[in-house]
Amino acid sequence: MPNPPLVFVDSDVVIQTVLASAFPIFRFLKSVYAIQPVIVPEVEVELRSLRKFKAQVTPVITKAISNGNLKVFDAAAFAFLATHNPAFQIASAGVSYTDIQILGAALHRRVDRGEAYTFATAQKLNLPAISNDFSAIQVLLKTGIPLPPSICRTYDLIALSYQAGHHSEQSCEDFRRALLVGHEHIQAEFRSCSFREGIVRFCPRLIDDSKVRVGIAYSGAPGFQAPVLISAAQK
């Protein structure tokens, strides 16, 4: 199965990667796997309106958007991709940007705006999202609203980078410690132990299918926790 052309990134994931000096992981995702990290306009507004961390986050996302390592998925981006990107044409078949906005507005009645439009876009296009907001996921699950086919977490990016040899064990541990120092959310598997101890108990949702696996294998039913299997893009 081909790699997804896009992955929709929630604001909390952007913030964590900036604070832990791991933001280049999005360039890695794009350059190695040809998966374009994107944010919806509502997430861009959230990130540019931050009170806390604004000084750290704003320059990073401004530069990333200008160099294409992160893109804003708005109506113009939808139209461009629907014309020029064959993989996106397949994903968006039968879907309009208006359809996405309608679902986003419906989800926003239950969860915050950024999560609502991130999940709505990913769900309509049947593409993965990256978000740590499990409370929003639980709310939507209880209401029976369909979720994206897979919702990864910040640590799935870190686990993928480690699996692919892009990040060393020490750099992954540095990431974990940076989140601890910043009082940021950490996956339960890594909260009270080192990265080395935690990764053997972690079930990754973003996996390089051509590399030796790390963590534990997913054994559940298909759903938002199911892994996305990817492979390095052909040069």
pLDDT tens column, 55-93 = 999 999 999 999 999 999 999 999 999 999 999 999 999
> Do residues 223 and 123 both lie within one domain?
no
**Residue 80, both tokens:** 């461009």
Contact between 37 and 71 (Cβ < 8 Å): yes
Mean pLDDT across 105-121: 97
**Residue 148, both tokens:** 């994206």
- Res 195 pLDDT > 90: yes
Query: What pLDDT was estimated at residue 210?
Result: 95
Query: Percent of the chain beyond pLDDT 70?
Result: 100
Q: Which pTM value belongs to this model?
A: 0.96
Query: What pLDDT was estimated at residue 94?
Result: 96
Taking phi over 0 as left and psi of -120 to 50 as alpha, with beta for the rest, 223 belongs to left
Q: Into how many domains does the chain fold?
A: 2
> Do residues 95 and 208 both lie within one domain?
no
**Residue 230, both tokens:** 């990817």
Does residue 118 lie in a domain region?
yes
> Do residues 172 and 140 both lie within one domain?
no
**Residue 215, both tokens:** 């963590």
> Do residues 62 and 106 both lie within one domain?
yes
3-state DSSP assignment of residue 129: strand
Query: What pLDDT was estimated at residue 216?
Result: 97
- Tens digit of pLDDT for each residue in 20-61? 999 999 999 999 999 999 999 999 999 999 999 999 999 999
> ∠126-129-132 over CA atoms, to 5°?
150
In whole numbers, what is the pLDDT of the chain averaged over residues? 96
Query: What pLDDT was estimated at residue 235?
Result: 62
CA atoms in the 13 A half-sphere facing the CB of 136: 23
Structural domain span for residue 48: 6-152
> Do residues 164 and 211 both lie within one domain?
yes
Query: What pLDDT was estimated at residue 212?
Result: 97
> Do residues 31 and 84 both lie within one domain?
yes
> Do residues 118 and 183 both lie within one domain?
no
Does residue 235 lie in a domain region?
no
> Do residues 35 and 53 both lie within one domain?
yes
> Do residues 78 and 133 both lie within one domain?
yes
Query: What pLDDT was estimated at residue 1?
Result: 72
Length of the chain: 235
